[in-house]
């Protein structure tokens, strides 16, 4: 009778040990999947950051080579900068870029521009063009400094 109870106890312990082994295996698999997902997310974040950085550099260089309008560059660079490193998107740090961005950010584009009165479009274009003239040197200096800073950081 003791042998039967001992055998039953051993069978129960073996069953529990097997069940515990399965749970530990599942836990380890889940941890590996979570680690893989975290690495994947970090990789995507790094790729996105690099894309933003590359875009800022490309637009900045094109602007300095007069291949991109100052207003277009300011608008695009400012938005990219806010997404890349919000702590860098400070108006007092880049006064020319921010002034131009602030001027054009609310101006209609694409479909909204097509639906806006022609006279209003001419008025807004005049304001934008005058700001580009007034801020040209300041924007170029800001872009040069920004590109130098980004090159140091990355």
pLDDT band at 29 (very low <50, low <70, confident <90, very high): very high
CB 76 within 8 A of CB 107: no
Above 80 in pLDDT, residue 133?
Answer: yes
CB 101 within 8 A of CB 35: no
Sequence spans of domains, the chain = 2-153
Above 90 in pLDDT, residue 46?
Answer: yes
CB 94 within 8 A of CB 138: no
Which are the contacts of 112, defined by CB distance < 8 A and separation ≥ 6? none
Quick count: other Cβ atoms within 10 Å of Cβ 74? Answer: 30
Q: Tell me the pLDDT of the chain averaged across its residues.
A: 95
What is d(CA 94, CA 1) in angstroms, rounded to the nearest whole number?
Answer: 88
């Amino acid at each position: 009778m003791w042998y039967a109870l001992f055998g039953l106890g051993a069978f129960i312990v073996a069953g529990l040990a097997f069940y515990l082994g399965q749970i530990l295996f599942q836990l380890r698999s889940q941890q590996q999947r979570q680690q893989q997902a975290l690495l994947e997310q970090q990789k995507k974040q790094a790729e996105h950051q690099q894309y933003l950085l590359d875009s800022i550099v490309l637009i900045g260089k094109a602007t300095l080579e007069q291949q991109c309008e100052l207003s277009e560059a300011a608008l695009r660079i400012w938005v990219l900068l806010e997404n890349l490193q919000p702590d860098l998107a400070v108006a007092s740090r880049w006064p020319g870029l921010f002034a131009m961005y602030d001027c054009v950010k609310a101006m209609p584009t694409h479909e909204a521009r097509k639906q806006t009165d022609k006279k209003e479009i001419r008025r807004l274009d005049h304001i934008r063009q005058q700001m580009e003239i007034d801020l040209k040197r300041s924007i170029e200096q800001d872009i040069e400094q920004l590109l130098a800073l980004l090159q140091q950081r990355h």
